[in-house]
């Protein structure tokens, strides 16, 4: 009998031009915690960004939401199909949250995060807003409307 395959989570792995800058944006402005860094030499680094050190990979998390970042040159070396692809995403990332969407929006606004679509109630029963991160990626945050 074949074992059932269970999907457990989907973690975006975004191509970025500066891993340290991206980590700082996500931790300082969006409230994520740094989970892992890999420097340009391929060594797993401490969970602290060192000034003037170059990084090739990082992972951040906020609660159960994880996001990974990989420097473009490393991405193109590791995944040959991305050799000629420019940084970017022809879509958005979307994060469901449990309450507090207005407070989260206000917190991001105070930290000068670029809000590209302000709070609105949608036809699919979500109250949501969208931001742009330091790489141009668009991230939506929404809570269910009761």
pLDDT at 27: 97
CATH of domain 88-146: 3.10.180.10
* Architecture of domain 9-80 in this structure: Roll (3.10)
Pairing of strands 13-16, 65-71: parallel
Locate the domains of the chain by residue range: 9-80, 88-146
Using pLDDT thresholds of 50, 70 and 90, give the confidence band for residue 53.
confident
pLDDT at 72: 86
Yes or no: say if 66 and 33 are a contact pair by the CB < 8 Å rule: no
Single pTM value for the model: 0.87
pLDDT at 9: 84
Q: Helix count (H) and strand count (E) of the chain?
A: 3, 9
Confidence check: pLDDT of 94 > 90 = yes
Confidence check: pLDDT of 46 > 70 = no
Q: Please determine whether the domains at 9-80 and 88-146 fall in the same fold group of CATH.
A: yes
12-33 confidence digits (pLDDT tens): 999 999 999 999 999 999 999 9
Q: What are phi and psi of 57, to 5 degrees?
A: -155, 145
């Amino acid at each position: 009998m074949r074992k059932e395959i269970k999907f457990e989570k989907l973690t975006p792995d975004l191509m970025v031009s500066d891993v340290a800058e991206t980590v700082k944006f996500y931790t300082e402005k969006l409230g994520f915690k740094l989970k892992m860094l890999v420097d340009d030499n391929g060594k797993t680094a401490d969970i602290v960004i060192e000034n003037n050190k170059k990084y090739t990979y990082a992972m951040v998390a906020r609660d159960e939401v994880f996001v990974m970042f990989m420097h473009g040159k490393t991405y193109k070396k590791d995944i040959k199909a991305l050799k000629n692809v420019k940084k970017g995403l022809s879509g958005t990332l979307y994060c469901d949250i449990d309450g507090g969407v207005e407070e989260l929006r206000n917190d991001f606004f105070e930290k000068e995060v670029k809000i590209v679509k302000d709070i609105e109630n949608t036809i699919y029963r979500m109250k949501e807003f969208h931001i742009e991160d330091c790489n141009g990626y668009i991230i939506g945050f929404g809570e269910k409307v009761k």
